[in-house]
C-alpha cells in the first residue's frame, strides 16, 4: 500500500466524478479488473484526458491507496482511433468492452480475456474483416475462456463425436443424428462448415482467431445459434447490445436496399 504500481490495461468504462475527475474501470494483465480515479482528467489540458477514455490500451502508473487506485500517468500504445471514425464499429467495440466488464473480476487472472479483447478490437479496425463475424468469434471465444461455451465437439446426450447433426440451445450443444430424434426443439441439420467454424473458434489460439472468412449462410446460422444460446445461458441485459443490434438491422437493410436499387 502507499506506493506506485504499473499495470498493462485497457479502459473498459468511464464515469465522471465531481467537476473534473473520472472514475475508470480497467482490465489489467496483472490484477484483473481494477477501478481507479483519475484526478483532473476531464480538464482540457490534462495529460490524462485521452488516456482515460474507453478503448485506450497501454501502461498505467497508479498510486495504490488503502481502498482505491489513483492514476498518476499513462503511456498509451493504442487508442483505437479507427473505431471513433466508424460509428457501427464503435458500437461493436462498446459491446465487447461491456462483455469483458461483465465477465471479469477483481484480483482474478484475466490475461486471456485481455488478449481476446485487444485482438478483437484490432480486428474491428480492419476493413477487410466482417464485423459480424468478429462479433461471433468474440462472443463464442469469451464463453470458452470463461468455461461457459456450448459443447460442439461431441453429442451432448450420448457423447458420440461423429455424425453431429443439429444444435440444441436447450441442451447446450450438438446432437448426433440419432439423439436429435428425441429432441423436437433442436435446430435443423447444420452444414459441416458451421460445426467446424464453432470448433475452430473455441480451440484456436486467440492470435489466430481472426484469420478466416465464412459464407453469408454460415454467418447467419452462427448468429442464430449464439443468439438462442445466449438467451438461455447468458440473459444479461447488455445495454450496448441493444444499440448494436438496432444498428446491425439498419446496416443490413441499407445494404439490401442498395443491392435492389431502391
pLDDT in tens, 144-154: 999 999 999 99
Q: Looking at the 3D structure of the chain, how many domains does it have?
A: 2
Q: How far apart are CA 108 and CA 91, in angstroms?
A: 27
Which whole-number Å values give the CA distances from 253 to 36, 216, 248, 257, in the listed order?
A: 41, 15, 8, 6
Q: With bands split at pLDDT 50, 70 and 90, how would you rate the model's confidence at 39? A: very high
Residue 172 corresponds to which cell in the numbers above? 447446450
Percent of the residues in the chain that have a pLDDT greater than 70, as a whole number: 97
Is residue 35 within 8 Å of 69, Cβ to Cβ? yes
* pLDDT at 262 > cutoff 90: no
Q: The domain that contains 114 carries what CATH number?
A: 1.20.1440.120
195 three-state secondary structure: helix
66 and 155 fall within a common domain = no
Q: For 77-108, what is each residue's pLDDT tens digit?
A: 999 999 988 999 999 999 999 999 999 999 99
* pLDDT at 187 > cutoff 80: no
Which whole-number Å values give the CA distances from 77 to 30, 65, 176, in the listed order?
A: 17, 26, 47
167 and 101 fall within a common domain = yes
Q: With bands split at pLDDT 50, 70 and 90, how would you rate the model's confidence at 5? A: very high
pTM listed for this prediction: 0.92
13 and 58 fall within a common domain = yes
Average pLDDT over residues 165-192: 89
Amino acid at each position: 500500500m502507499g506506493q506506485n504500481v504499473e499495470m498493462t490495461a485497457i479502459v473498459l468504462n468511464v464515469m465522471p466524478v465531481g467537476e473534473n475527475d473520472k472514475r475508470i474501470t480497467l482490465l489489467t494483465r496483472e490484477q484483473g479488473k481494477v477501478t481507479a480515479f483519475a484526478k483532473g482528467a476531464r480538464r482540457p489540458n490534462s495529460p490524462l484526458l485521452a488516456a482515460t477514455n474507453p478503448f485506450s490500451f497501454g501502461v498505467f502508473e497508479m498510486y495504490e491507496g488503502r481502498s482505491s487506485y489513483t492514476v498518476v500517468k499513462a503511456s498509451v500504445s493504442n487508442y483505437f482511433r479507427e473505431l471513433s471514425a466508424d460509428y457501427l464499429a464503435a458500437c461493436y467495440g462498446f459491446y465487447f468492452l461491456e462483455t469483458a466488464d461483465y465477465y471479469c473480476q477483481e484480483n482474478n487472472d484475466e490475461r486471456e480475456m485481455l488478449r481476446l479483447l485487444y485482438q478483437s478490437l484490432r480486428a474491428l479496425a480492419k476493413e477487410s474483416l466482417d464485423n459480424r463475424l468478429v462479433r461471433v468469434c468474440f462472443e463464442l471465444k469469451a464463453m470458452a475462456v470463461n468455461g461457459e461455451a456450448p459443447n460442439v465437439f461431441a453429442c451432448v446426450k450420448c457423447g458420440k463425436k461423429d455424425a453431429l447433426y443439429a444444435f440444441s440451445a436447450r441442451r447446450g450443444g450438438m446432437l448426433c443424428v440419432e439423439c436429435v430424434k428425441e429432441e423436437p426443439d433442436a435446430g435443423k441439420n447444420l452444414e459441416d462448415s458451421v460445426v467446424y467454424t464453432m470448433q475452430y473458434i473455441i480451440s484456436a489460439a486467440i492470435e489466430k482467431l481472426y484469420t478466416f472468412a465464412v459464407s453469408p449462410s454460415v454467418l447467419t446460422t452462427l448468429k442464430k445459434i449464439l443468439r438462442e444460446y445466449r438467451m438461455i445461458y447468458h440473459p444479461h441485459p447488455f445495454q450496448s447490445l441493444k444499440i448494436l443490434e438496432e444498428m446491425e438491422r439498419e446496416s443490413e437493410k441499407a445494404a439490401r436496399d442498395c443491392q435492389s436499387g431502391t
